[in-house]
Homo-oligomer: A and B are copies of this chain.
Amino acid sequence: MRPSGRDLSEMRPISIETGITKHAEGSCMIRIGDTHVLCTASIETRVPPFIKGSGLGWVTAEYGMLPRSTSSRMRREAATGRQGGRTVEIQRLIGRALRAGVDRSALGERQITIDCDVIQADGGTRCAAITGGWVALRLAVNRLMAAGEILSDPLLDPVAAVSCGIYAGQPVLDLDYPEDSEAGVDGNFIMTGSGRLIEVQMSAEGTLFSRDQMDQMLDLATKGVGELAAAQQAAVQ
């Protein structure tokens, strides 16, 4: 029934390749099916003004799509002179999600910026960005710990995200683009590896939804995040 032939609760193949760029303190290419996102973590000693002197750290994110990551070419945001509303919304989400998994006091007064650049898009880029972004963050923090700059680990539980939706009347896990563009309800679920909730966003796109459907999507998401967290752990070992 799904265009890809997957089962309703079946994720696309997950691959996380680390060490993609030599300059970044942490980096990976995450591939969820045909969605490929390059994630890098950059450590800086300066922090935003509102936490200066607080002893707390900060994690923030930026998101972009290469112009031809999509089936028809998009205008380059640097050329249009502004980041679109969707970009702003997504990068705020990524930053908020990753911060929820960080003990900012253990991180200390430094900032880590996670850049998520979509090389190829096929649905679910924001979820891939969060999942891959956490891997880049983990690698950068490992480096700080190895160098003795951080003493207690600020990352207690991995953070991962997956989309679910109502497609052709059925709840499905991990929507690809053909499903996403037809789905009546679309949701993004961000959780820790141990199943605690960080952020839930469900949105009707043509079809209103009930609490029952919401519960079914949450069940699927819990399964998907479990698989993503396992892939994250394998990648950072």
Contacts and interface: CB of A to CB of B under 8 A. Distances in A.
- Which interface residue of A73, A120, A201, A218 has the most chain B CB atoms within 10 A? A73
Interface stretch (A5-13, A111-119, A123-131, A227-235): A111-119
Interface of A: 20-24, 27, 34, 38, 40, 42, 44, 62, 64, 66-73, 76-79, 81-83, 85-89, 91-92, 96, 100, 113, 115, 117, 119-121, 192, 196-205, 208-211, 214, 218
List the number of copies, as a whole number: 6
Contact of A44 (B73, B209, B210): B73
A214 B23 CA distance: 33
28 contacts: A21-B68, A21-B119, A23-B71, A23-B121, A24-B68, A27-B68, A40-B66, A42-B72, A62-B67, A64-B76, A66-B115, A67-B113, A73-B113, A78-B78, A78-B83, A78-B87, A79-B83, A81-B82, A82-B82, A85-B88, A196-B210, A197-B208, A197-B210, A197-B214, A198-B204, A199-B202, A199-B203, A201-B201
A209 B32 CA distance: 27
A194 B33 CA distance: 39
Contacts of A34: 22
